[in-house]
Amino acid sequence: MNDMQKWSNYRLPVMPYRSDALGIGVVGAGFIVRDCHLPAYREAGFRTVGITSRTRSKAVEVASLHHIPLITDSIDQLLDDPEVAILDIAVPPTDQPGVIRQVLRHRACNGHLRGILAQKPLAMDPLEASELVGLCADVGILLQVNQNMRYDPAVRVAKQLINQKTIGDPVLATINMRAVPHWMPWAQGGRSLATYIMSIHHLDCFRYWFGEPVRVLASTRPDPRTKFNHTDGLNLYILEFENGARASSWDDVWSGPVKEGAAPAISIDFRIEGTEGLALGEIGWPGWPKIVPSTLKFSTVHDEMAWNEPKWSSAWFPDAFSGTMAGLMVALEAGVEPDISGFDNLKTIALCESVMRAAAEHRVIDPQEIMDEMLKKNSN
């Protein structure tokens, strides 16, 4: 195996010993299930046994497309199937807490149901997120949160560059997002727009790379294109780490008047600078629905001014979605907490809340103060 093949292989998730051992039930039949979750599960050899949706016709369509044997009219009916060991909940975050509570009241939690894959954000409010984590722990259900950017190939290889100190000690990391999302109807009227829907990816990514920041600075403003009321449209934030590293992201969902006729300049790229090298990455997601692999190149003080460029054909959408499910399956096999457990994800929720408070209150926020509030909620 050549050196670039080694680095390319670091993008791959750890898979369960038996990919088809645990049956998956799916709640929801929107595009993210149809075009991302289920194609990735099929490619990985996972076994999807049932699906339900509040619109039965959508469930029927998706089940036919992906050869899912069971279609039910309710979550309770889906949970009655003893083949459902994992429930993949793919509903809007405004609805997800209620669905999780309903699931945890079902008798399957005392029998065949063993794990839940929830979407990010786990909840739009940190105290509610904390409550959900505690409720799952109380009944012994493993909770994994689908922070799927961690399984983007370029993000995962960058993590290994950091872990192995290939580029030395981290100094500065930046993410520059210039992309125009399609806001779903459920986003209107919520307490957060960009922070809990878009920035949550990058905040979690910084945590994945560098651990827990100790201070957050932020500024935000509305997006002039988005007509419904909101405060956090465009987000600018800086994370400070105890070891001296800094991370910053410009999450620009406006991206100039590209929808109004200006030439588009759409991309998401990242840069990680270390004491002995640097890594440059470009995220392929803005090319969706075309499948565009992310890219990464890096250079170190030992490379005589040359770039190393590992290659792969996999992409964030849809391939990363098998990684988050695999993380839950591996944890269930080993009897340990999953890699993006509910408790771990509370730290990402705390970062989202830190950005919102730092921008609204014009002060530096220590994310631990929000974690303390959530942990107090869990202990009550």
* DSSP-assigned states of every residue in 160-209: HHHHTTTT-SEEEEEEEEE------GGGTT-S-SHIIIIIHHHHHHHHHH
Contacts of 185 (CB under 8 A, 6+ apart): none
- Cα–Cα distance measured from residue 12 to residue 327, given in angstroms and rounded to the nearest whole number: 12
pLDDT at 50: 98
> What are the boundaries of each domain within the chain?
3-148, 150-316
Select 3-148's CATH number: 3.40.50.720, 3.40.50.150, 3.40.190.10, 3.40.50.300.
3.40.50.720
pLDDT tens digits for range 158-182: 999 999 999 999 999 999 999 999 8
pLDDT at 1: 60
**Number of other CB atoms surrounding residue 224 within 10 Å:** 11
Instruction: Please list the ranges in the chain whose pLDDT falls under 50.
Output: none
Parallel, antiparallel or unpaired: strands 142-146 and 70-72: unpaired
Contact between 66 and 48 under an 8 Å Cβ cutoff? The reply is yes
pLDDT at 274: 98
Residue 358's H or E segment, with its range, is helix 342-361
pLDDT at 380: 67
150-316: same fold as 3-148? no
> From residue 66, how far is each of 49, 307, 333 by CA, in Å?
10, 41, 26
* Class of 150-316 in CATH: alpha beta
Contact between 96 and 123 under an 8 Å Cβ cutoff? The reply is yes
pLDDT at 72: 98
pLDDT at 3: 84
- Cα–Cα distance measured from residue 7 to residue 299, given in angstroms and rounded to the nearest whole number: 13
Widest pairwise Cα distance in the chain: 62
Find where tokens 């990464």 sit. 296
Contact between 115 and 144 under an 8 Å Cβ cutoff? The reply is yes
